[in-house]
Chain A
Amino acid sequence: MAATPADASSSSSEAVVGGEKSNKMITLISSDGESFEATEEAAKMSVTIKHMIEDGCADDGIPLPNVPAKILSMVIEYCNKHAADADDTNKHVADPADADEDDDNNNNNASAGEKEDLKSFDASLVAVDQATLFDIILAANFLSIKGLLDLACQKVADDIKDKSVEEVREIFKIENDFTKEEEEAVRKENAWAFNE
């Protein structure tokens, strides 16, 4: 289940001409020993990996003992998809004439269609079971991929939002281990939040 070379090359061929963009492939090794390939551009979405590449530790492949294969392939998928978009965003320079309050936001980097595409990709990436979501968060945190971490954390927050306590316990499979007295005390402590 490695990221195919086809994916990698298509994302780099979409990129607009610019800076130092190499088509160099980086090998990432999951905790269970599987190897994955990703373009340097995509891999550098992880600040952790970026530093390792820059420090020259990446030549023989980068072992990631904290990230299992299943999660690593999802992470790479995310990076591939977002690497191209991130590049376009960095290139756009603000127009000095767009100073006024009422201006339309005409500074669209990706087209509206591409943005929608990305949004639905993101949504489906985190529409997973809780265990997987947990692992994605840990991986994104370890690899310092801000976009992915924010995305996954937002999903968790969305799972909590507007739900009753029982529903939250259900979703996250948590046992209520408060005693009656303890629960009362907590409710009283923050009465303002529990009274509607």
Chain B
Amino acid sequence: QPMGQGPAAKRSRSEHHHGAGDAPSFRMEDLPVDVQAVIMSLLPLKEAVRTSIVSTSWRMLWTFRCNLSFKGPRYLHENDTKIQQAKCIETVNCVIQQHSRIGINKFSIRCGLFEEDSVHLDRWIRFAASSKAKIIHLDLRFKDVFEEVNHLHLEALLDAQGSSFLRSLFLGGVVIKPHSAICGFTILRRLVLQSVTISGDFTGFLANCAALEDLEMIECSGLTNLIIPQQLDKLQHLLIDGMEVEMVEFYAADLSHFEYKGQVVPIVHHGCSKLKKATIMFSGKKGLAKAFTAVPSILPVKILNVRSVALSKYSQLQKLPTRPDGMFMHLRHMTCRIIVHSRPQEANYDIEVLQLAYCLDAAPQLETLQLNMFYVSSSGVSSAEVVGMRRHDHLKAVFMSGFRCYKAQIKLACCILGNASVLEKLTIEPRITGTRYLGDNTDLHKILPGVCEWAQLTSERFGKVINVSEKKAGGKTTATGSKTNRAGGK
């Protein structure tokens, strides 16, 4: 006889059974409510709702499901967008009407919304607020439309007492008007805004979110400057992507990871830095060099990711300052992604690859370097030369993907091999990795022999180990190496 815990003893339903003749063996209704909610949450929403028809005792189980996620069409200009969208809205309304409003952990809607649907949006916000959801994800963008039309009132996310249980908030494709009198988001830890139009006093609003640890702003408009106030002293991660601001200023005394993608603007960080990691992608010319020179606040980092899309060529390599206060004295690990995009037949179209050699000079303590390259166009002339790269006494491991023996790649590799005194191994991989671009990896078998041959000769010339990695699904295998007695990848 199973011992039941939970609600008071119910009359056994064994009398109603034929067949095996025993009492029912699994009484879902006798499980603790929060366990029921867990089980319901492990089913897809549709299936959970369908359990309501199993029996009267199962009817309301799904209404305690802790996570509610809805998906609708994301692109306006597709055939049945209107129909799919209407279906999605109907489903959301239906579900939230019946839900118990108890125990909601995550409430998520990803569906493009028209301006006339704002009445639904209001309803959804009211539901989210009254159900004390911890995580709210509202992505109302049509990805092929660039104007946000859905107004969202941040105050509506607060409950009747003006407070909020919200820990994590994602807003996409809305218009918001924050101001400093909105102070209910006291436990908000994560705030992500994507394609949001912001007016009003954003900095003042942020100052009231003192628990914030993660702030991400992607392609938002309406701000001239982005100022992160000093009240955000728990902020660990700050991401700024594609914002057309003139200046970025932050205090964020505890910041550990800073990410910036966009135009080169002044980036000012007040106070002493605990910054460990930075990710920088500057658009425009000479993105790589600028990443190393334009943001003094990131100098203390231990880990640096730089991205550069080399769209236009330039003719002069840039040497970096070598004063200690201009160098990355703590940088140990660097990843770099360069996409070469210049028009074919241009001279020095891939000079950005060579620029890396000089950038490395600003990181004398570097231990590992991972370089992912993708040549979108590969016919051109490469005539720049690296002169006087500094010696590196800590660089142990270098990895290069997208390595196909283009001239600049060879020059860079040789510079490193010649100047890195303690280099244990250089691993090169013709395959294009580390980028969301759909690179062409189908001709690898043609390229590989040439790369291996180069690796062999160069390895002998410099007396260093060069592995050629031919990555297969589920792990790396080393193809022909050279002076190597070790198999294995990175």
- A residues with a Cβ closer than 8 A to B are 31, 66-68, 96-97, 99-102, 104, 106, 129-131, 133-135, 137-138, 141-142, 149-150, 153-154, 156-157, 160-162, 165, 168-169, 172-178, 182-183, 186-187, 189-194
Contacts and interface: CB of A to CB of B under 8 A. Distances in A.
Interface residues of B, number: 62
Contacts of A190: 49, 52, 94-95, 98
B368 interface: yes
B32 to A, nearest CB: 6
Interface string B23-51: 01111100110010011001111110111
B67 interface: no
Contacts of A68: 2-3
Interface in B302-317: 302-303, 305
Contacts of A106: 490
B56 interface: yes
B333 A138 contact: no
Contacts of A130: 25-26
Contact of A169 (B38, B55, B56): B55
Contact of A175 (B16, B22, B95): B16
Given A96-B303, A99-B335, A173-B24, A165 B17 contact: no
By Cβ-Cβ distance, the 5 closest A-B pairs, closest first, are: A157-B42, A131-B25, A130-B26, A193-B49, A130-B25
Contacts of B435: 102
Interface string B345-365: 000000000000000000000
Nearest to A171: B26
A99 B26 contact: no
A161 B43 contact: yes
Given A99-B303, A100-B335, A168 B5 contact: no
B217 to A, nearest CB: 20
Contacts of B35: 137, 141, 149, 153
A81 to B, nearest CB: 22
B295 to A, nearest CB: 18
B303 A131 contact: no
A101 B435 CA distance: 8
A9 B43 CA distance: 39
Contacts of B38: 149-150, 153
B27 A134 contact: yes
Contact of B26 (A134, A182, A193, A194): A134
Contacts of B58: 174
B2 A135 contact: yes
Interface in B1-25: 2-6, 13, 16-17, 19-20, 22, 24-25
A186 B489 CA distance: 58
A186 B53 contact: yes
Contacts of B91: 192
Contacts of A173: 17, 19-20, 22, 24-26
Contacts of B57: 174, 177
Given A176-B55, A190-B52, 11 more contacts: A31-B3, A97-B368, A99-B277, A100-B372, A141-B35, A153-B42, A160-B43, A169-B55, A193-B46, A193-B49, A194-B50
Contacts of A134: 2, 25-27, 31
Given A134-B26, A141-B35, A165 B56 contact: no
Contacts of A149: 35, 38
